[in-house]
Structure 1
């Protein structure tokens, strides 16, 4: 198998067949380089009227860092169940387990013309609605986000400290299951920039809900 990186997409050549992955795009780089890695590909495919997420993990090596190259057109409801299966496999490995190995999503930094990565090793995904006892930020399609039952543009997340009242709370992130993977990565990059200044308010980066 060979692959070509033509920002912003991969072209894989296997057994004479070509398949492309359209990568998510951003204008910032979270992580610029990952050493000792194995690629995992999740393709966008159409079967009659259905959209399918097709996984290719032929080059997977359990003890390495895993880079997930996922087509940006796929909805989270199709992508994340496949990601969760692979996460579980890696976490449960005993014989060749490497405690230092990480998982990353890849995306194209269109400003700097390079491949970039965002880590998600410790994230536990739940395909359900969060408890009402948690303060949650719900990312919707087309750049909107619901915070405490009010709709905002996701660009207003920088005002997060003004949107929560003065009491202790844990902020949990949730996502519409029909959000595209491309939108999801853009939202994750926005989350990475968040700084909470109010005492007693903290962000849980290790748990995400999809519903």
Structure 2
């Protein structure tokens, strides 16, 4: 397994082939340590100096270990998520997969100046499918005790909650207030939707923001919707 080295000044990782991964940044660490891991790298490149392409190094993805995904923040979700889904299936289908092993995304904590990790083992992606507002609620019978909120993260930084735009700096407070006044005092389930044109760096920052809004009354649904803004109906 390759050793991961954080270059704090550049907020980048370098694989042993000297290729660089520019990490997303955030101001807190969801996880600080992980052991017994295999690194997976997704590099940013330009074809003919104009078209963004992704190069995936998965050679060290040992199924019996925790997988650490080092993904360049400049890559768009439309390239990243299909590769993540393939690797999820690879690990799931492996007879060597170790029970309890996890998958995490890496990013840099710009305040603590350390490498940080965001777990996503339970996430199931819905790529290029319907926005969560169109989700058949009959399939959510076991979640009927929840009030369901559709959260939309749009390219450019806008955030909407049930179609209403919410200031990023007020998002956590807004969700907390909604949970206090939810119908019949129900728990709140957040359904996360991401424009597939978002950069991976923005994706990680948005996931951390949603995570900050969770508490004993607010949970995040395990399905994430990566949608095409051009093909989706008005939301």
Structures share fold, TM-score greater than 0.5: yes
Q: Distance in 2 between matches of 1:206 and 1:195?
A: 13
How far residue 194 of structure 1 moved from its aligned partner, in angstroms, is: 1.0
The aligned residue for residue 135 of structure 1 is 149
Gaps of 5+ in 2: 138-147, 228-235
Alignment of 1:8-87 (within 5 A): 8-14=11-17, 18-48=18-48, 49-87=50-88
Q: Distance in 1 between matches of 2:168 and 2:39?
A: 30
How far residue 12 of structure 1 moved from its aligned partner, in angstroms, is: 2.5
How far residue 171 of structure 1 moved from its aligned partner, in angstroms, is: 2.5
The aligned residue for residue 182 of structure 1 is 201
The aligned residue for residue 112 of structure 1 is 112
| TM-score (ref. length: structure 2) | 0.80
Q: Deviations over 1:124-180 (max 9, x none)?
A: 010122243553100112332011111122222211143577435642111111111
Q: CA RMSD in A?
A: 2.1
Q: Deviations over 1:6-35 (max 9, x none)?
A: 121012242xxx311100011211111000
The aligned residue for residue 121 of structure 1 is 121
Q: Distance in 2 between matches of 1:156 and 1:206?
A: 24
Matching of residue 88 in structure 1 with residue 103 in structure 2:
no
The aligned residue for residue 144 of structure 2 is none
Q: Deviations over 1:88-147 (max 9, x none)?
A: 1111112x1211110000001111111010100000010122243553100112332011
How far residue 197 of structure 1 moved from its aligned partner, in angstroms, is: 6.9
The structure carrying a bigger strand percent of its residues is: 1
Count residues with an aligned counterpart.
204
Q: Deviations over 1:44-97 (max 9, x none)?
A: 011023111110011111100000000000111110000000001111112x12
How far residue 189 of structure 1 moved from its aligned partner, in angstroms, is: 1.1
Q: Specify the SS of the correspondent of 2:19.
A: strand
The aligned residue for residue 163 of structure 2 is 149
| Contact in 2 for aligned 1:44/1:71 (Cα 8 Å) | yes
